Amino acid sequence: MEITKNSRPCLVDNETKLKSIIDLTANKDYVLLTRTLIKKLKNIQGVHKVNLYEVYGNIDNKSTKKLLLKDVLDILSTLIPFYQRVKQYPSPEQIKSENYQGLLRNDIQQTVFPIHNIANAQRILVIDWQNINPENWSYVLSLLKVYSNLLKIIDEKDRDQLTGLLNRHTFDNNLENIINHSKLQSKKARNNDKNSWIAILDIDHFKQVNDKYGHLMGDEVLLLFSRLMLSEFRYSDILFRFGGEEFIIVLTGCDRKGAETALNRFRKTIETYRFPQVGKITVSAGYIFLDSIQSPNTLLDHADQALYYAKETGRNKVVYYNAIASILDQVSHINNIEIF
């Protein structure tokens, strides 16, 4: 129902406020927590629209036109230009440090709230509203404080603390959704040009880095490696630190040539980059098409076999599982004969 200037404001009662806090704190999942927050905000009289986004791009850049947004409620949602959702083009400084408010149309206002957290991801809450009572605004701000505090706890669970990338826990919880998304892409795609691929990357001889330079320098290599990943791959690709020196990348919306090109481009970037004190390192990768027919465990096993093959045949290379599957079958057959 649209609220007009003459409408009598409906204040949120204390019982509702308490229940909202209870409902928020009951969530231990990022998406579920965000969904609960948005639901509570939409129930406030005068609120027209609520969205929470992750901001991609260099937020220190002077132009917001170079920023992209991804809806928090969907890890695989399509990224959209910042200015398509935030109409008044606030400066990056406003996004980072304070609320921003501008007029949309008629009496509809839009307020952008930065969500401060410890993760690399910068988040903003965007509310389109009209004639919200000041007491209800206080309620909105209280919900955001609770949300931000809970988000810090969840980020510690869902994100790798060293690199800020999503961790193995988050990967395991989202793999089924990623596979289903790949299946949907394949049905819609023409000429097999919009599929998803999963790659496992492993830093070559990383144990030697730790042994020679110490674990602090090893952590520095991992941090720089992850930052290069963030700069080299598209914002639509999903990056995980799987554990130790192993990383996973989900490449979306591309054919095999595009996936291999992206992986090799990153491999060459790592090869030519000079890490402080350590110098040159290399990376090996194995990847596979995210076939929805295969079980998640099978897909990971195949990608891991491709990675292992890359390491066993010289390292510093990218290997597609299907390209070496027949070789692996022959080796397996020979080994079975030797056993008997």
The edge-to-edge listing of strands for the beta sheet with 122-129 is: 80-81, 68-71, 47-56, 122-129, 108-115, 100-105
pLDDT for 31-86, tens place per residue? 899 999 999 999 999 999 999 998 887 666 666 777 888 888 876 667 888 888 88
Query: Is the pTM value of this prediction over 0.85?
Result: no
**What local confidence, expressed as pLDDT, does residue 81 receive?**
87
Q: What's the pLDDT at 337?
A: 43
271 is catalytic: no
Structure tokens at 114: 């930065």
Sign of CA dihedral 44, 80, 263, 230: negative
* Strands 283-289 and 318-320, sheet pairing: parallel
Residues of the chain with pLDDT under 70: 1-9, 58-63, 75-77, 88-106, 117-121, 181-193, 292, 329-340
Q: Locate CATH 3.30.450.40 in the chain.
A: 14-157
How many angstroms separate the CA atoms of 265 and 252, rounded? 16
Domain span(s) for CATH 3.30.70.270 in the chain: 166-339
Asked whether the CA dihedral 142, 147, 150, 155 is positive or negative, the reply is negative
Superfamily of domain 166-339: Reverse transcriptase/Diguanylate cyclase domain (3.30.70.270)
CA distance 170 to 179: 14
pLDDT at 112: 87
162: helix, coil or strand? coil
Q: Would you mind telling me the total number of residues written for the chain in this entry? A: 340
Which member of 54, 220, 245, 260 is catalytic? 245
As a CATH number, domain 14-157 is 3.30.450.40
3-state secondary structure at position 116: coil
Please give the Cα distance from 197 to 250 (Å, whole number).
6
pLDDT tens column, 300-319: 999 999 999 999 999 999 99
